[in-house]
Structure formats: structure tokens, C-alpha cells
Amino acid sequence: MNDLILKEPEIFNNEKENKAFNENSNDLIKKIEGDILYVDPPYNKRQYSSNYHLLETVAKYDNPTLKGVTGLRENDKKSDYCKKNSVLKSFEDLISNAQFKHILVSYSTEGLMEVNDIEVVLKKYGKDYKMYEIEYRRFKSRETKSDDDLKELIFYIRKDM
């Protein structure tokens, strides 16, 4: 195995007061407000926290009990956004509780939520609904399926508060 090299990220001072939260979005949304909310939720069943297990272990430095041939951590943070039967409910809960004037959401046409369902939720809680399509290539180069229908979507609504 190769050595793991950690490089210090480049951090610049934007002269503003910035805050970062490490919390479930649906709990956090009830405690914050602002002008612009950008939401970039997971769009498929892959649970991110499993994929980032190495970084998580570096950050926690907690010598976890590893499982499986690839040595994953026990994953106790399963996102509702990665489950077909809970994603839409969580998304609606997030949007309904958002105290933000402008809301932007990025999603994929291959996502667990249907585009029409996203539209219904956003129109229910906001005005000036817009959807922008951005074409992009599938990240797996060996994928045989056509990329023609694959798009990144950006949704917008203005919320009256």
C-alpha cells in the first residue's frame, strides 16, 4: 500500500464571518436563515459516508473495527437522501422549513427523485420556478450506456417569508 500523504488545504481569508456546521441538514435548516440556500444532495443509493471512510478515520483518529475485504468502517450515518422511499419526504421537509429568499438545488436526471416530483415540491413552497439543464459526461469512462439523456439539473425558486 502506498503512503498516505496529507497536504494542507489552501485557505484564504474572505474578510467575512463564516460558519460551518456538521449536522443533519433537516435539523440544521430549522435553525438557520439567509438569502441564498444551495442544496447539493446525494442523488443515488450510494451512501457517501462509506466512501469517505478513510478521511473520516484520519479526522477522528479512532482506530475503528474494520469490516469487509476493503476495510470499511461501520456505517451509522445512512442518509435518507440515498433511499428511494424516504428521499422525497426529506426533500420536501427541507424545502418547507428553509428560511431563505432564494433556493437553488442541483440534481441529476439519474437521481432517485423524479424531476416532476422535485418540481411539484418546489412550486408548492416557492415562486418563479426555473430549471436549467447542463450536459455532462458520465464519470465512469467504461460505461456503455449513452450519455445523451444524462444531465445535471439546477432548480431555482424564490421563497416568500
DSSP 59-127: HH---PPPBTTTTBPP-----GGG-TTTHHHHHHHHHHH-EEEEEEEEEETTSSS-HHHHHHHHHHH-E
Closest distance between ligand SAM and the C-beta of residue 20, in Å?
A: 12
Residue ranges binding ligand SAM (CB under 6 A): 24-26, 40-42, 48-49, 79, 81
**Would you say 8 or 40 has its CB closer to ligand SAM?**
40
Q: What is the strand order of the sheet 33-39 is part of? A: 33-39, 99-108, 151-158, 127-135
**Would you say 41 or 126 has its CB closer to ligand SAM?**
41
Closest distance between ligand SAM and the C-beta of residue 112, in Å?
A: 12
For the beta carbon of residue 153, count every other beta carbon within 10 angstroms: 17
Closest distance between ligand SAM and the C-beta of residue 73, in Å?
A: 14
**Would you say 21 or 135 has its CB closer to ligand SAM?**
21
Closest distance between ligand SAM and the C-beta of residue 28, in Å?
A: 7
**Would you say 1 or 36 has its CB closer to ligand SAM?**
36
